[in-house]
Structure 1
Amino acid sequence: MPFLPCLKKKKSPVPLGRSIFQKHTPPIQQNYQALLEMCLKNKCLFTDDNFPAHISSIGTGALLKKLPRNLRWKRPHALHRSPVFYAANRKQLDLCQGLVENCWFLAALQALTFHQDILAAVVPLNQSFERKYAGIFHFRFWHFGEWVDVVVDDRLPVNEVGELVFVSSVYKNVFWGALLEKAYAKLYGSYEDLQIGQVSEALVDFTGGVNTTIKLAAAPPDLWDILTRATYSRSLMGCQTHLGTTKVLKNGLVAGHAYTVTGIRKVTCQYGPENLVRLRNPWGKIEWKGDWSDSSYKWELLSPKEKILLRKNKEDGEFWMSLRDFKIHFVDLTICKLTPDLMSQEDGKKWMYSVKSGRWVKGSTAGGSLGFCNGTFWMNPQYLLDVLPVEDSKKSLGSCNVVISLIQKPSSKHRNRASHLSIGFSLYKYQESNRKLPPAFFTRHQPVNKHKVFLDEREVTLDFHLQPGVYVIVPSTLEPQQESEFILRVFSRKHVLREMGGNTSFTLSKEIVDRYEGKIWEDFFTNYFEQNPEINAVQLQRILNNISWRNFQSFRLHFSLDACQVILALLDLNATGTLSIQEFRVLWKRLSGKLDLVELHAAVQETGISLSNEICNLMAIRYGDPDLKISFESFVCFMLRVEIMGEAFRNLTQDGKGIYLRESEWMMMTLYS
C-alpha cells in the first residue's frame, strides 16, 4: 500500500562518537496468580507499588492542568454498591473517553469488542469483584514481539463526587475499560503517555497483528472489496479525520480525531446500490450530520426492512455514511489483519510468520539510508528472505504475497518522551549467499521497492507480490548514526528468514606483501634474533615502528607500548614476558597482509572469523578512537585476541557449545589475554 514520504525538515547528520547503546526498557513482570493468592491468604487488598495511586502515575505534563482539584484514588466498591468487571449481556460499545486525549486508544478498544475471543485474550474475563476478589487485575498486551501480562490494583482516579476522570463506561458499575486503560498506562509509563498515539499502534498491541494503512485520498479502486474482505476476515479497523482549527466541524465530525470502523453494508436505494460504512466516535456522542446520518432523508430511499435494520436514531456516537463521503472526510484507514492475507485472493490459506530482533548502533550498524549518500548504508543489518513457492497455491508459478513489517522500539519506558525516528527498509533481489552485501552491490542494484519512504512512526508495513526467490531486506533509519532497537516481521505463505551470515565479519587478508621484500625481512629477523633470542615489549615496539609498511605508505602507522604489551601477552605462550622468534613469526604472518584501512572499522568480507553484531559493537567501543574508528594497531590487537580466544575455546570445549573453567583457569584467561 502507498505511504507518504517523510516531509520533515532534514536534520544535520549526527556526528560519530562513543555511544552507550540505550536498550529498550522491558516492562516489569509481576506474577498475577502468585500475588492474588498471597493477598487472599493475608486477607488484604493488593496495592501496586510499581504503579502507585499517586500523581506520578498520571504524569508530569499538560494532563496535570486538566485534573480536578480534589483528585482521589478509589476502588470500585467505594464508587458503586455492586461493581461489575465485565457485563457480557450488555451492548459492548459502552466506553467513553475521559480527560486523557487518547481517542486513538479508545477507537482501537471499541474495535476489539466486536471479537469476543480476541477481547478475552487481552481482557481475561474470569476476573470479578466478588469471587476471589483481592483488588488485583491483569491484562495482556503484545509488546514488541512478545505477549506480556500487566498487573494493576483497582484504585482509580476520581473527582470529588466520585466520577472517573479517565475512561468510563456508560453503565456506571462496569469497570473493565477503566482498569484496562490503567494497565495500558502502566505499560507505557503513565496516563500522560497515552495523550498522543495512533489507532494502528493500539490495534497491534491488542492483537499482535499486522497493519495496512490506506491513504484515502489515493485509495485503490477496489477499496470496497478490501473493506469486505477485512470484515469477513475479522480484521480490526480504525480511521482518522483531517486536522483542523475547529474541533467539531459543522458536519458533526471532530477534526484530527480517531474513529472506529464498526461495519459496512451495501444497500439498495431507489436509484441503485449504495455502499455504506458504519463508524463510531469513541466519545460516545457527537455524530456525522451529512447523508446517511441518523436524521438524513436518505433512509427514506430504502425498503422498510433495511431502514428498520440499519437506522438507529440515537445519540451514541455511532453513525453511517457513504463510502464516497468516507474517502473525502477521513485521511486514512488502518486495517489490522490477524492473518495477513487481506490483499490476497487466496482466502482460507495458511500463512507463516517470522520475526527477528535487531539494533542500529552508532559506528557499527546504524548506516542510515541511501538517500544520504554517506557510503555507510551497507553497514545496516541485512536479512536474507527466501520466498518459496507453495504447491497448493493457484498462483504457485506466479507471484507470492509477502508482508514485511518494521517496528522500532523506544529507548524510554515513557512512550512519549522519545520521538520516533524516521525508519524504512529496502528490499533487494539477490542470489543466495551467507555473506553480507558489500558496498559496491548497492551502487549497482536498485531495490524492489524503488520508491522508498521513511516514516517517523512506530511501524512501517509494506505489501509485496514477489516471484519465488532470494531477497535481502535492509532495515534502516533515514539518517545515519541514529540508534534504536527494532523488530522485523515477515508474513507469507512460505518463506525462510535469517540474518545475513548471522553476524558481521572482519577481514584480514593473508596475502604476502611481496615475496622478495618478505625474504629480506625474514633474513633481518633471523639475524636480529640471533643477537636477541627473546624480545620484550619495548623491543617489539621498536621493530614494528621501524618497519616500512609498503601497503600503508599513505598512513603513519604507530604501535603504542600498550598495544605491544597486549600483542606480547597474546603470543607469549610460555608466559616469560618475552617473544621468541617462533612466537614472533606467528605475529609477522598475521601482520604481513593487505588490509583495506577505509573499511577497517567494520570490514564486510568473510575469512572464516565470524563475529556477532554485539562483539563488533564492543570492538568499536573498546578498540576505537572517540569517533569509533579503529587504527591498524588496534585492529591487529583485536584480531589476535579473537583468534587466540577462539583457539582456546575449541581446545577446552567438549561439545562445541560451552566450556567449564576452574577459577585459576578463568583468571588466567581473562587477565592474561
Structure 2
Amino acid sequence: MSFLPLPWLLRRKKRMMRGPWLLDRKGALQKPSSLGQQNYHTLLEECLKNERLFEDELFPADVRSIGTGPLLQKLPQKIHWKRPYELHKAPVFSSANKKRLALCQGVIEDCWFLAAVEALTFHQDILFKVVPQNQSFERKKYAGIFHFKFWHFGEWVDVVVDDRLPVNEEGHLVFLSSVYKNLFWGALLEKAYAKLCGSYEDLQIGQVSEALVDFTGGVNMTIKLAEAPPDLWEIMTRATYSRSLMGCQTHAAPVRVLPNGLVAGHAYTVTGIRKVTCKHGPENLVRLRNPWGKVEWKGDWSDSSGKWELLSPKEKILLRRNSDDGEFWMSLQDFQAHFVYLMICKLTPDLMSQESGKKWRCSMQFGRWVKGSTAGGRRKAHRDRFWMNPQYLLKVLQGNGSKRSLYSCSVLVSLIQKHNSTHRNRRPHFHIGLSIYKLTQEYYDSNNKLPPAFFAGNAPLNSPLFVNDREVTQDFRLLPGSYVIVPSTSEPQQESEFVLRVFSRNHSLHELGGDSNSVLSREIVDKHEDWEDFFAKYFLQYPEINAVQLQRILNNVTWTNLQNYGLRFSLDACRSILSLLDLNSTGTLSIQEFRSLWKKLLIYQGEHYSYTVWCSGTELYLCTIKWYRFQEVFQKNDIHQTGALEQGELYTAMQEIGISLSNELCRLSTFRYGEPDLKIRFENFACLMLRVELMMEAFHNMSKDGKGMYLQESEWMMMTLYS
C-alpha cells in the first residue's frame, strides 16, 4: 500500500488552514452550517484538487470537541492531535485480514458504544453501510477526510470528520484504539459518533441498545433478565439466526471488578450462543466479550474452567479460547444471574413471532410534545390532559399471508424521543410510554382528535410502561380493526420531538387531527422467511440429519447463478462438510449446526431485503442490499466463467474472504480439492473454505501466543481424522 510522502502532506496541510467548505449552486466555496451540508465527496474532490488536508471546523481539534465535563479530568496533562500517518508509518483504514474483535476502550466510559460496534462486526453488510469501505490512506484517495453513516431519528445521516485524533505525549490514542496499532477505522468511527452526539463527553454513559439502533435503524427490545420469559433461549436463538445484534449489561456495584471477573455496571457484547453436549446432558452457553479487550469471567465455562472436560475433544478445541482477550463463555443460568439486561436490536420485527408471512410494513410518524398544546402527560395521573397528546389512527388490515392472522395480527410499536439539544447528554431523557385503544364505532368516520370523553370511558389495551430510555417498544396481537396510539411523557408540559414507528404485515397509520397524507411507509420484503420456514418444517420431521439427507437438501437447492455448471454435491463432499460442522461428534447435524452451513452457503446467494419508501403516494427511494460470501466470491473470481477456479483465482478468492495462505498451500489445495485439471469446482471450494476457517479457529483458540500450540494425542487424532 502506498502513502503520501511527508513533504507533500505538509504542503497540503498548509493550504488547508482555512477549514471546511462546500460548493454552492454557483460553484463558490461556502462554509457548511450542519452535518447534512458537509458533502463528503464534494469535500474530498476539492481537497485532492487543491492538495489540501481537510480540517473540520465544525468538530475542531481542540477541547471544544472533547467537552467541558468530568471527561477532562481523565485526560493526560498534555493532549496532541495527530493524523494516523503521524502515528504509524503504514496506517490502514480497515483490513479483511485482521481479527474481528480488535478494538480497545479508551478513557471515555463508552463501553456501551464499543459493545455495539463489536456486535456490528458480525454482520459485514451492516458494518459496511455504517463504515463505507471505499476509504483509505492511499495517496490517490487520501485527503485527511473520512465519513460514516448513522440512522439518526428516522433518517440516515452522513457524518464527515477529519482524521486528527487526540494522543498523549507518547503518541498513544487517548480514546478508542485497536490492538493493531496501524488500524484506525474504530478510532475514526468513534470520532464521527462523538460529532453526531455533540462531543466526546457526550459519549459518557449510555445503553448498548441506543448505539445499535443508530447503526442499523432496527427496533430495540430490552429483556430484564430477572424477569426473563421461559423461552429466553429460543428468543436468543431466533435473534442469532435472524441477524439481530445483542448486547447486555451487568449489575451496578461499589467494586469495579468483581471477584468473579465481571465488571460491575458494564456493557458487554453477546458474540454467540451454543448448545453443547455434556456427559450429563445438553447445556446452553452464551459467549460474551468485554469491550476492554481483557478481564474475563472466572466461573463455570471460563477459559480455565474444568467444565470443558465434559465435552468431546473436538467441541472443546473449537469453542474454548484460552487467552485473556476479553471473550469468554458462561452458562445461560449464570448469564441470567449476573447480568441485569439483555438488549436485542431486531433488523426485522418478527423476533418474538413465528408467523410465516412475506412482508412487513413500517409506518413512521414524526411528532412532538409541546407545552400547553400536545404535552398532556400520562393518563393515570393526568386524566384531564391526557387527550391533548398526539393521537394516531392505526388500522390493522386482514390478508397478511398468515393463517393466524385471520384471528389476530402481530403489531410492534416503537417510540423514540428526540431532544432539541445538539448535545446528547445536556438534557436527560424523559419517562416516555405509549397507550393503545380500540376505537369505538361512534368515532370510526372521524379524522378529528378523540375528545376527553373517549378516554374517560375506555381503558387502554395495554399497561403502559414509562421508562427514561430513548426508546420504548411494545409487541401486540391485535384483531383486524381500528385503534388509536397515544404516545406521551410521564409528566405534562415536557417538550420533546419523537419518532413513532409501527410494524405489521398489513396496516395504515395517520395522525388524528393532522395531515393524513403525511404517512411515511416502508415495505420490507424479507425473502429469508422462505428458508426459515423450511428449517422449522424439515427439522421438525428430522431433528438430526445425516450425510445422505444433507446431500439431498443441497442438491435440491436452486443455485441461481451456478446452475449452468451442473453443480452437484457428492456424498463424499457432504460427509466432509458434516464432519467439519459436527462439533459434538454424533455423526449428524443438528438444526443449529445446519444453520451455520446454510448461513455460509445459501442466504448469500442473492437473497436480499428490498426497501420501498413512499410519501403521499409518490415513490421517493428504492434500495436493494445484497449479502454474499462463498458463492459470490467464487463467481467473482471465476474470471473465465468456467465454473471452476484455477490456483491464482483461488488465492485471490481466499484473500477476499480474509484468509491468508501461502502460494504453496494454495497449490497443495488444488491437488487435494481440485479436479484432474487442478481446477476447483464450487462444491469442493465450499469444503475447502469450511476446513480452512475451522482449522484457523482451532489454532487461535489453542494458541496462547499466536505462534504455536500444544495438543494431546487424542485431541490431535480427533482434529486430523474427523474433520
Q: Distance in 2 between matches of 1:37 and 1:230?
A: 42
Corresponding letter in the other structure for 1:456: N
- Structure 1 letter corresponding to 2:265: G
Residues of 2 paired with 1:80 and 1:368: CA distance? Answer: 55
Pick from 378, 394, 418: which aligns with 2:387? 378
CA shift, 1:503, in A, is 6.0
Pick one of 264, 278, 286 that aligns with 2:287. 278
Alignment partner, residue 459 of structure 1: 471
Alignment correspondent of 1:262:
271
Which of 56, 66, 70 is the matching residue for 1:62?
Answer: 70
By how many angstroms is 1:347 displaced? 4.9
Contact kept? 2:409, 2:504, Cα under 8 Å: yes
Normalised TM-score (structure 1): 0.70
Show the counterpart of 1:356: 365
Q: CA deviation at 1:91?
A: 1.1
Residue 92 (structure 2) aligns with: 84
Q: 2:452 aligns with which of 439, 444, 457?
A: 439
Q: What per-residue deviation string (whole Å, max 9, x for no partner) do you get for residues 296-349 of structure 1?
A: 000000001110110010100000000000000000101000001101112573
The one-letter amino acid of 1:257's match is: H
For residue 328 of structure 2, the aligned residue among 319, 324, 330 is 319
CA shift in 2, pair 1:226/1:210, >3 Å:
same
* Partner Cα distance (2:34, 2:132) in 1: 22
Q: Residue 492 of structure 1 aligns with which residue?
A: 504
Say if 1:341 and 1:347, in contact at 8 Å, map to a contact too.
Answer: no
| DSSP 3-state at the match of 1:351 | strand
Q: Does 1:342 align with 2:351?
A: yes
CA RMSD of aligned residues (A): 1.3
For residues 90-169 of structure 1, the aligned pairs below 5 Å read 90-130=98-138, 131-169=140-178
Are residues 329 and 348 of structure 1, via their aligned partners in 2, closer, same or farther at CA, if it must alter by over 3 Å?
A: farther
Cα distance in 2 between the residues matched to 1:250 and 1:302: 26
Amino acid at match of 1:29: Q
> What is aligned with 2:485?
473
Question: Alignment partner for residue 410 of structure 2, among 397, 401, 416?
Answer: 401
| Alpha-carbon distance, 1:391 to partner | 4.4
Shift of 1:373: 3.0
Maintained 8 Å contact 2:107/2:174:
yes
- Residue 337 of structure 2: aligned partner: 328
Residues 178-217 of structure 1: CA deviation (Å, up to 9, x unaligned): 0000000000110000001110100000000001111100
Deviation digits for residues 360-387 of structure 1 (CA, Å, limit 9, x no counterpart) = 1111111111122350110111000111
The answer to whether the Cα contact below 8 Å between 1:216 and 1:330 also exists between their aligned partners in 2 is: yes
Distance 1:341 1:391, change over 3 A: closer
Aligned residues of 2:376 and 2:382 also touching (Cα < 8 A): no
Tell me the SS of whatever aligns to 1:87.
Answer: coil
Question: How far did 1:466 drift?
Answer: 1.1
Where does 1:174-185 land on structure 2 (aligned, <5 Å)? Answer: 174-185=183-194
* Matched-pair contact (CA < 8 Å) for 1:29–1:150: no
Q: CA deviation at 1:126?
A: 1.0
Q: Name the counterpart of 1:17.
A: none
Q: Is contact 1:410-1:418 (8 Å) kept? A: yes
> How much does 1:69 deviate?
1.2
Contact 2:36 2:158 in 1 (8 A): no
- How is 1:176-575 mapped onto 2 (pairs within 5 angstroms)? 176-347=185-356, 349-431=358-440, 432-433=444-445, 434-449=447-462, 451-502=463-514
Superposition deviation, residue 27 in structure 1: 4.1
Query: Among 25, 29, 38, which residue is 2:37 paired with?
Result: 29
Note the C-alpha offset of 1:84: 0.4
Q: Which residue of 1 aligns with 2:721?
A: none
Separation (CA, whole Å) in 2 of partners of 1:502 and 1:417 = 31
The aligned length equals: 479
Does the 8 Å contact 2:69/2:201 carry over to 1?
yes
SS at match of 2:436: strand
The alignment partner of 1:336 has SS state of strand
Q: Distance in 2 between matches of 1:155 and 1:348?
A: 49
Identity rate of aligned residues, in percent? 73
Q: What's the offset of the Cα at 1:114?
A: 0.3
Does the aligned pair in 2 maintain the 1:107–1:238 contact within 8 Å?
yes
- 2:612 matched residue in structure 1: none
The DSSP-based 3-state class of the residue aligned with 1:502 is coil
In structure 2, what is the equivalent of residue 512 of structure 1? none
What letter corresponds to residue 258 of structure 1 in structure 2?
A
CA distance in structure 2 between the aligned counterparts of 1:193 and 1:137, rounded to whole angstroms? 21
Q: Please say which structure displays the higher CA radius of gyration.
A: 1
Change (3 A) 1:26 1:236: farther
Q: Give CA-to-partner distance per residue, 1:101-143, whole Å, 9 cap, x none.
A: 0000000000000000000000001100014100000000000
Contact kept, 8 Å, 1:421 with 1:456, in 2: the verdict is yes
Q: In structure 2, what is the Cα distance between the partners aligned to 1:139 and 1:371?
A: 43
Q: What amino acid is aligned across from residue 402 of structure 1 in structure 2?
A: V
Which residue in the other structure is 1:601 paired with? none
Distance 2:114 2:145 in 1: 22
- The DSSP-based 3-state class of the residue aligned with 1:501 is coil
Q: Corresponding residue for 2:676? A: none
Q: 1: CA distance between counterparts of 2:272 and 2:343?
A: 14
1:72 aligns with 2:80: yes
Which amino acid counterpart does residue 75 of structure 1 have in structure 2?
R
Q: Is the 8 A contact 2:94 2:184 kept in 1?
A: yes
CA shift at 1:398, angstroms?
2.1
SS of 1:277's equivalent in the other structure is strand
Contact 2:105–2:175 (CA under 8 A) maintained in structure 1: yes
Cα distance in 2 for residues equivalent to 1:419 and 1:26: 23
Partners of 2:485 and 2:225 in 1: CA distance: 28
**1:38 matched residue in structure 2:** 46
Distance 1:107 1:133 in 2: 29
The aligned amino acid for 2:489 is T
Bigger mean CA offset, 338-347 vs 431-440:
431-440
| CA shift in 2, pair 1:347/1:68, >3 Å | farther
> Counterpart of 1:437 in 2: which secondary structure?
coil
Cα distance, 1:168 vs. partner? Answer: 0.2
Letter aligned with residue 33 of structure 1? H
Match of 2:377, SS state, is coil
User: Are 1:51 and 2:63 an aligned pair?
Assistant: no
